[in-house]
C-alpha cells in the first residue's frame, strides 16, 4: 500500500496548530522525528493529545465529503444532476474517472489511512508504555481500537464490493501497524472480520471504564467543550462504549447477520441507554428544536457519536447549505414550497413531522429573477437548516448553557439503532413498533399494521440522516437499484449497482501494479 504516512505529528499539529486549513496541511510534517513521539507518550496528557488529534483530523473529510457533501449527493438526496450546472454534478453522475473526482478519491484514501496509522501509534504505545493507570489505559486503548475499526469500516463501505453478493472480493488492506509497509488487499469478508474483532476489543475495554455507562454523556461546562483537554467529559464527542455497540450493530448488519445486529442495536443500545436512573440519549423535545436563535435541528441529545468542528459554519453551512449560495452551489431539495410542489411535501408523510422544521424557503434573488426573463417566473427555493449557525444574541446569552451541538457533526445516532433493530427483528409486529416509537418522537402518526416495513425503514432512514452521509451506505448494503430521487418531487432514481463502489486510487493501482480487480 502506497502510504505517505504522517504518523504522530498529525495528532500534535491537529491539536496545537488547529488553525491549519485541512488534513493536507498536516501531511507535509516530517514523520521521522522519533524524539517528538517519545516525548508525546511520556505522560497521560500526551496520549490524550494524540487521540484528540485523530478526532480533529477526521473533520477534514467528515465535515464535508463523507457526511454533508459528496456522499449525500451520491445518495441522490438533492436537486443535482450530472447534466445541470451544479458544482457537485460529477458526484451525482458517479463520474469516478473524472480527474477532479480522482483527486478527491485519492484524498479520501490517503487521509483515512493516515488517520488509521495514527491510531496504530497510540495502540502500540499503550502496549509498551507504563505511564497510564488502568482506567486511563482502558479508555485510550478502547477508543483507539474503535477508531481503527470505524475508519476501516468506511473504507470498506466506500471501496469494497456490495457485501451481500461478493463477500470474497478483494478490496482494501487492513492496516494494523504504524509501519510503512505495503499490506495485501484482503477479501471484504476478512476486512469485516477484523473490523468486528477491533470493535470487540474496544467493547471489552470500554465496558469496564467508560463513564458514559454510569454517568451519561457528561456534558459539563468547560471553556473548550472537552476538545482541547481530555477529562472523559463530552462522551458524545468520543467513540464511547455505546458508539462501539452501535458500530457492531452496523457491522453485523453489513455482514447480513441480523441476529447479532439485532442484539447490539436493541439489547445492547436501545434497552440499556434508558433506565430508571439514567437516560443517556434522551429524545429531543420540541422546546429544544424551537429554541430561539439556537434551534437544535441536529436533535443533538440523541447523537451517540459526533465530531466537534469549531469551523462547522465554514466547512458545512457556507460550503453546502447557506441561503446566500447560488442554486449552482447550494444543496437543496427540488421545489419551491414546504407544503406543496416540492420534495419536502412528499418526503415527509406527516405535516407535524419535526424534521420538516429543518427546511425553510427564500425568495428568488435578483439574479434568478433576471435569468427567468420577462416571460419566466423565478420561484422561491428551499433551504436546509440542519447546520444553521446560532444567532449573535443566542451566542452572547449562552453562558451557563451547554451548547455543544453548535459545532457537532453527527456520525451515529439513536434513531438508526431503532431502524437497524426493526430491519433485523424476526417479528414484523415488533419491527413496526420500533418504527412507530421513532415516529412518535418525531410527532408523526403511527403507521398502520399493513405497512410495507422495508419501505418504511428506507424513508425513515432517509429522513433521519440527511446531511450525515449514511444513506448511500444504506442503499449499497441493500443493493438497491431503485432509490429516492432528488431531482423530482416524488420520483425514483434508477441506480446502477456499479455506482456503489469507488475505484482504488491510481497511486494504489500503480504501486501494486494491478491490471484488474
Cell output for 209: 471504564
The strand pairing partners of 279, in sequence order, are 274
Please identify every stretch of the chain with a pLDDT value under 70, giving residue numbers as ranges: 1-35, 219-232, 397-402, 515-517
pLDDT in tens, 154-200: 999 999 999 999 999 999 999 999 988 889 999 999 999 999 999 99
pLDDT at 14: 44
- Give the DSSP letter string of 38-71: HHHTTSHHHHHHHHHHHHHHHHHHHTTTTTTSHH
Long-range pairs for 34-40: beta carbons < 8 A, 24 or more residues apart: 36/8, 36/9, 36/12, 37/7, 37/8, 37/121, 40/8, 40/11, 40/12
Please state which of the four CATH numbers 3.40.50.1370, 2.60.40.2550, 2.30.31.20, 1.25.40.390 is assigned to the domain occupying 9-317+390-498: 1.25.40.390
pLDDT at 341: 86
Helix spans in 441-489 (H): 453-464, 471-477
Q: Give the pTM.
A: 0.92
pLDDT at 400: 53
Secondary structure of residue 209 in the 3-state scheme: helix
Secondary structure of residue 359 in the 3-state scheme: strand
CA 137, 155, 408: angle at the middle one, nearest 5? 65
Cell output for 199: 470493535
- Where do the domains of the chain lie? 9-317+390-498
pLDDT in tens, 445-491: 999 999 999 999 999 999 999 999 999 999 999 999 999 999 999 99
Amino acid at each position: 500500500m502506497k502510504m505517505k504516512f504522517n504518523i504522530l505529528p498529525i495528532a500534535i499539529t491537529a491539536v496545537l496548530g488547529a488553525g491549519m486549513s485541512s488534513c493536507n496541511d498536516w501531511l507535509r510534517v516530517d514523520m521521522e522525528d522519533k524524539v517528538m513521539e517519545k516525548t508525546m507518550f511520556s505522560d497521560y496528557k500526551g496520549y490524550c493529545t494524540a487521540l484528540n488529534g485523530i478526532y480533529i483530523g477526521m473533520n477534514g473529510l467528515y465535515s464535508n465529503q463523507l457526511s454533508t457533501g459528496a456522499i449525500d449527493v451520491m445518495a441522490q438526496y438533492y436537486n443535482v444532476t450530472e447534466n445541470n450546472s451544479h458544482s457537485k454534478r460529477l458526484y451525482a453522475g458517479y463520474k469516478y474517472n473524472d480527474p477532479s473526482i480522482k483527486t478527491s478519491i485519492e484524498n479520501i484514501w490517503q487521509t483515512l489511512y493516515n488517520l488509521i496509522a495514527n491510531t496504530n501509534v497510540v495502540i502500540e504505545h499503550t502496549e509498551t508504555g507504563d505511564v497510564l493507570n488502568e482506567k486511563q489505559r482502558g479508555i485510550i486503548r478502547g477508543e483507539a481500537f474503535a477508531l481503527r475499526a470505524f475508519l476501516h469500516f468506511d473504507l470498506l463501505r466506500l471501496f469494497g464490493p456490495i457485501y451481500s453478493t461478493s463477500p470474497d472480493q478483494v478490496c482494501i488492506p487492513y492496516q494494523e501497524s504504524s509501519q510503512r509497509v505495503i499490506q495485501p488487499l484482503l477479501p471484504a469478508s476478512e476486512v469485516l472480520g477484523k473490523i468486528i474483532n477491533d470493535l470487540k476489543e474496544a467493547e471489552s475495554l470500554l465496558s469496564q471504564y467508560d463513564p458514559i455507562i454510569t454517568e451519561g454523556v457528561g456534558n459539563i461546562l468547560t471553556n473548550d467543550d472537552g476538545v482541547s483537554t481530555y477529562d472523559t467529559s463530552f462522551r458524545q464527542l468520543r467513540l464511547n462504549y455505546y458508539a462501539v455497540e452501535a458500530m457492531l450493530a452496523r457491522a453485523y448488519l453489513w455482514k447480513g447477520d441480523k441476529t447479532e445486529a439485532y442484539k447490539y442495536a436493541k439489547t445492547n443500545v436501545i434497552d440499556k441507554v434508558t433506565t430508571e436512573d439514567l437516560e443517556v440519549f434522551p429524545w429531543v423535545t420540541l422546546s429544544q428544536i424551537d429554541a430561539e436563535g439556537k434551534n437544535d435541528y441536529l436533535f443533538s441529545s440523541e447523537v451517540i457519536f459526533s465530531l466537534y468542528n469549531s469551523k462547522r459554519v465554514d466547512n458545512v453551512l457556507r460550503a453546502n447549505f447557506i441561503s446566500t449560495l447560488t442554486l449552482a452551489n447550494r444543496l437543496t431539495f427540488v421545489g419551491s414550497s414546504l407544503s406543496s410542489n416540492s420534495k419536502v411535501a412528499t418526503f415527509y408523510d406527516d405535516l407535524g413531522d419535526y424534521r420538516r422544521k429543518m427546511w425553510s424557503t427564500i425568495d428568488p434573488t435578483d439574479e434568478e429573477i433576471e435569468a427567468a426573463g420577462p416571460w419566466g417566473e423565478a420561484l422561491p427555493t428551499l433551504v436546509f437548516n440542519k447546520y444553521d449557525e446560532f444567532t449573535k444574541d443566542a451566542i452572547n446569552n449562552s453562558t451557563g448553557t451547554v451548547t455543544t451541538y453548535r459545532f457537532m457533526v453527527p456520525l451515529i445516532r439513536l434513531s438508526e439503532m431503532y431502524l437497524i433493530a426493526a430491519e433485523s427483528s424476526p417479528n414484523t409486529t415488533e419491527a413496526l413498533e420500533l418504527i412507530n416509537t421513532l415516529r412518535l418522537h418525531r410527532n408523526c402518526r403511527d403507521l398502520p399494521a399493513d405497512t410495507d416495513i422495508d419501505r418504511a425503514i428506507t424513508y425513515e432512514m432517509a429522513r433521519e440522516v440527511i446531511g450525515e452521509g449514511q444513506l448511500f451506505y444504506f442503499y449499497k448494503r441493500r443493493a438497491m437499484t431503485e432509490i429516492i430521487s432528488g431531482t423530482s418531487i416524488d420520483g425514483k432514481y434508477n441506480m446502477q449497482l456499479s455506482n456503489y463502489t469507488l475505484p482504488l486510487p491510481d497511486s494504489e493501482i500503480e504501486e501494486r501494479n494491478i491490471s484488474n480487480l
